[in-house]
Amino acid sequence: MSRRRDPDDLIARAGRGDPRQDQHFLVDDRVLDRIPTYAEEFDTEHALEIGGGTGALTDRLLAVADHVTVIERDRDFARFLRTEFDGAIDEGRLSVVQGDALEVNFPAYTVCISNLPYGIATEVAFRLLGEREPAVLMFQTEVADRMAAEPGTSEYGRLSVAAQHFARVEIVEPVPPEAFDPQPAVDSAIVRLTPREPDYRVPDEDDFLSLVKAMFTQRRKTVRNAIRNTTHISGLADGDAVVEALDEEVLSRRPDALEPAAFARIATVAAEVQ
């Protein structure tokens, strides 16, 4: 393995991150070196990195991917990346996109490997899940736990259902605050998302996700009441008709106890009776 760039040196030359801007850069070489190994089973022809910062992870990705696209919101850090990795850019192996990851168009990537900005991590995760490509992502531990949570637990929610609908979710490594500079006030975890086809069908994915979102606003109500009370969110034209078409076993449970397949059943019934 060729010598990797030192993350502390990159920060010294690029400038330290601003925690008020959600900039916490990985500086632990061991964690940086391990992150790409969690994607070894995936196609690394084109790696997408969201939040490149000073380029410590970018450097590791260039060692394993044919091409890397980095999306970086901060103009100064995007400029630094273009200068620091000008050789890879000239070789056609790196593209640096300055912009907001929630707004820019993603390229046709094969895997996303990122230390996500935590302030937008959940929103970015929803967008990435819809792309149906594998990912290795850093989240704060609370978000990682929610993605992997089982029905009936306090962590289980909308993100759990969406993540597990699209992918197999694995928390592969905890990461302490000391691995970052500046240090965040929370623990972190690396999550691997392997795309999967669920063992159920939904008539319309957007409608399914809207239903899930709506019902978790009433997570401690019965399914019966959650459906009736959230038609303004779910978009259901007739909540009562959906309730009448479902069996009591489902209606008497709470949304936070339903597995993804049960939400799919509700969405299917809703499409049939609307």
pLDDT, tens digit, for every residue of 180-223? 999 999 999 999 999 999 999 999 999 999 999 999 999 999 99
Question: 67: annotated binding-site residue?
Answer: no
Looking at residue 2, its pLDDT comes to: 59
Question: 229: annotated binding-site residue?
Answer: no
pTM (2 d.p.): 0.94
Question: 238: annotated binding-site residue?
Answer: no
Q: What class has domain 7-195?
A: alpha beta
Q: In what order do the strands lie in the sheet with 188-195?
A: 94-98, 67-72, 46-50, 111-115, 135-140, 188-195, 167-175
Looking at residue 3, its pLDDT comes to: 78
Question: 94: annotated binding-site residue?
Answer: no
Task: State both tokens at 13.
Answer: 């030359």
Domain coordinates of the chain in residue numbers?
A: 7-195, 205-273
Question: 24: annotated binding-site residue?
Answer: yes
Number of other CB atoms surrounding residue 60 within 10 Å: 26
- Are 247 and 223 within 8 A, CB to CB? no
pLDDT, tens digit, for every residue of 79-138? 999 999 999 999 999 999 999 999 999 999 999 999 999 999 999 999 999 999 999 999
Domain 205-273, CATH 1.10.8.100 — does that match?
Answer: yes
How far, in Å, are 37, 161, 251, 273 from residue 258 at the CA level?
34, 9, 10, 21
Question: 205: annotated binding-site residue?
Answer: no
